[in-house]
Amino acid sequence: MTLTELSEIKVAAIAESGVTSEAPVPAANWPEWFRRDQQAAWADFLSIPEPKRTDEPWRFANLKALDLSDYTEASEVENEEALVARSTGFENIAAKLIFANEKLIQGETAGLPEGVLLLPLEQAAREHEVLFKKHFMSTPVRLGSKKFAALHRARLRTGAFLFVPKGVVVERPIEIWHWVSGENAAIFPHTLIVLDDGASATVIDRFVSASGERSLAIAVNDLTLGVASRLSYVGVQDWSRKTTAFHLNTTEVEKNSTSTALQMNFGGSYIRGESDSHLLGEGSRSVMLSINPADKTREIDQRTFQDHFSPRATSDLLYHNALADASRTIFAGLIKVEEGAHETDAYQKVRNLMLSDEAEANSMPGLEILADNVRCTHGATSGELNEDELFYMLARGIRPEQAAQLIVRGFFGTVLERLENPTLEEQLGLILDRKLNL
């Protein structure tokens, strides 16, 4: 085969299975009603207009990154064992699911307490239809990526479903791996977590590329917390440097329950994160955290919403960005206190640590308060490395580059502390050390 022939075949292949141009083939293993749902989602995707520069949810964003026309459906991976072998993360976990290119390649769930369901999504849709329908992407996407959420819904093939029944406590973490493999491959990872009243769980989502290839990931997680439940959720995003990724979250927190969610963004070229917390019950609490070491020409674009519907709820957001090289970050957060949500306590803080003259940080911390007797504060700061701290370390013989990295590590460490979970903090700290070459 000549080179020209090869390239023609490649072009043909793109035209055939482009994720934005070709209607998805109805997924096998799914109930009929879900297939219809996917068709409707595809129609939504086609009809929702592309984001425009003047759209407030896309202010400052680099819209060029949103051209998804040359991504194709990911095909089954050949080296499943190799990926399973590489899926070594946390020690002492309760369960592990490994997905690669829209397929579950391994599941270990023996360590889970009785009654806890950890299933691939399609099985949950078949066997637990009511539960699935009630919680699967049930709240509208409000932070800008409606079109991309519709694409996710239309094209996803599988995902993780966790249900923890009333009063059950899952002590050890559950780890879920999402691999993407293949040039221009697109995947649609999904994690749906439902905690019944009084339940408790810790879930780690790991997002990884098999190699340095260019790919697209549109990931969605729905976190639903029943009365007096507790969830710790961590997304460790480590896509290849050429990946465009969307991480869209919705969290619903009922009375007296606490959600703590952390997103760490290590990889990707363009990352769009949307975190939408609904504080539905009295005394509910949502802690929203993010750690973003940005370098090269990466763009990390994060939009958040702390929506208080009920009185006496608390939300607490802390995002730390360290910007090296010509990287760019965007943070747009909104605290909204709905009418009647009195005695709300909401806090929002974004800190930008500027490590280079080429970097750019944009912050839009917003407040909308429609109730009184509230305490809402937000803050945004941008600054550089502290000269005194640097000097102190240099005086003790630490090299300048390492001194800077140590300060960055400390800067991120304060976010990890907010997890209030020493085991998680330690294990995530190790990942952080490795990523910062410490």
Considering only 103, 214, 241, 342, the residue that binds other proteins (CB under 8 A) is: 342
Indicate the residue among 50 and 368 with the shorter CB distance to other proteins.
Answer: 368
364 lies in the binding site for other proteins (CB under 8 A): yes
Select the span of 64-72, 156-164, 172-180, 348-356 touching other proteins (CB under 8 A).
348-356
Strand partners, 316: 287, 347
Whole-angstrom distance, CA of residue 408 vs CA of residue 233: 23
Select the span of 66-74, 161-169, 200-208, 355-363 touching other proteins (CB under 8 A).
355-363
Closest contact distance (angstroms) between CB of 43 and other proteins is 26
Considering only 4, 12, 47, 56, the residue that binds other proteins (CB under 8 A) is: 56
Considering only 91, 339, 388, 401, the residue that binds other proteins (CB under 8 A) is: 339
Q: Are strands 160-164 and 117-120 parallel, antiparallel or unpaired?
A: antiparallel
Closest contact distance (angstroms) between CB of 54 and other proteins is 5
Instruction: Tell me which H or E stretch contains 43.
Output: helix 32-47
Select the span of 1-9, 182-190, 231-239, 361-369 touching other proteins (CB under 8 A).
361-369
Whole-angstrom distance, CA of residue 189 vs CA of residue 100: 9
Q: Is 29 left (phi over 0), alpha (psi -120 to 50) or beta?
A: left
373 lies in the binding site for other proteins (CB under 8 A): yes
User: What's phi and psi for 59, nearest 5 deg?
Assistant: -60, 140
Residue 381 CB partners (closer than 8 Å, separation 6+) = 350, 351, 352
**Which 382-401 positions form the footprint of other proteins (CB under 8 A)?**
382-385
Considering only 10, 375, 399, 434, the residue that binds other proteins (CB under 8 A) is: 375
Considering only 67, 81, 129, 368, the residue that binds other proteins (CB under 8 A) is: 368
* The two three-digit tokens of residue 249, written as one number: 């979250």
Q: Which of 287, 243, 289 is nearest to 262 (CA)?
A: 289
Considering only 23, 40, 169, 370, the residue that binds other proteins (CB under 8 A) is: 370
Cβ pair 37, 138 in contact under 8 A: no
**Extended strands (E) in 53-152:** 72-73, 95-100, 103-108, 117-120
Closest contact distance (angstroms) between CB of 272 and other proteins is 18
Indicate the residue among 49 and 383 with the shorter CB distance to other proteins.
Answer: 383
Indicate the residue among 21 and 382 with the shorter CB distance to other proteins.
Answer: 382
Indicate the residue among 238 and 325 with the shorter CB distance to other proteins.
Answer: 325
321 lies in the binding site for other proteins (CB under 8 A): no
Cβ pair 335, 304 in contact under 8 A: no
Q: Are strands 174-180 and 200-209 parallel, antiparallel or unpaired?
A: parallel
Select the span of 56-64, 199-207, 267-275, 401-409 touching other proteins (CB under 8 A).
56-64
Q: Are strands 117-120 and 230-238 parallel, antiparallel or unpaired?
A: unpaired
**Side chain identity at residue 403, one-letter code:** A
**Residue 297 CB coordination number (10 Å):** 14
Select the span of 32-40, 229-237, 374-382, 414-422 touching other proteins (CB under 8 A).
374-382
* The two three-digit tokens of residue 216, written as one number: 């697209």
377 lies in the binding site for other proteins (CB under 8 A): yes
Indicate the residue among 205 and 276 with the shorter CB distance to other proteins.
Answer: 276
Whole-angstrom distance, CA of residue 98 vs CA of residue 34: 23
Q: Among all chains, which residue has been given the structure tokens 């700061």?
A: 381
Q: Could you give the C-alpha distances from 422 to 176, 317, 416, in angstroms and in order?
A: 20, 19, 9
Considering only 203, 359, 407, 419, the residue that binds other proteins (CB under 8 A) is: 359
Closest contact distance (angstroms) between CB of 375 and other proteins is 6
Indicate the residue among 81 and 368 with the shorter CB distance to other proteins.
Answer: 368
60 lies in the binding site for other proteins (CB under 8 A): yes
Considering only 62, 88, 381, 386, the residue that binds other proteins (CB under 8 A) is: 381
Considering only 143, 149, 361, 432, the residue that binds other proteins (CB under 8 A) is: 361
Indicate the residue among 106 and 382 with the shorter CB distance to other proteins.
Answer: 382
Q: Among all chains, which residue has been given the structure tokens 């810790």?
A: 202
Closest contact distance (angstroms) between CB of 420 and other proteins is 25
Indicate the residue among 94 and 324 with the shorter CB distance to other proteins.
Answer: 324
Cβ pair 167, 197 in contact under 8 A: yes
User: What's phi and psi for 75, nearest 5 deg?
Assistant: -100, 165
Considering only 26, 113, 115, 379, the residue that binds other proteins (CB under 8 A) is: 379
Q: Are strands 299-308 and 244-253 parallel, antiparallel or unpaired?
A: unpaired
Considering only 366, 400, 410, 422, the residue that binds other proteins (CB under 8 A) is: 366
**Side chain identity at residue 201, one-letter code:** A
Q: Are strands 299-308 and 270-279 parallel, antiparallel or unpaired?
A: parallel
Question: Which residues lie near other proteins (CB under 8 A)?
Answer: 54-56, 59-60, 339, 342, 352, 354-385
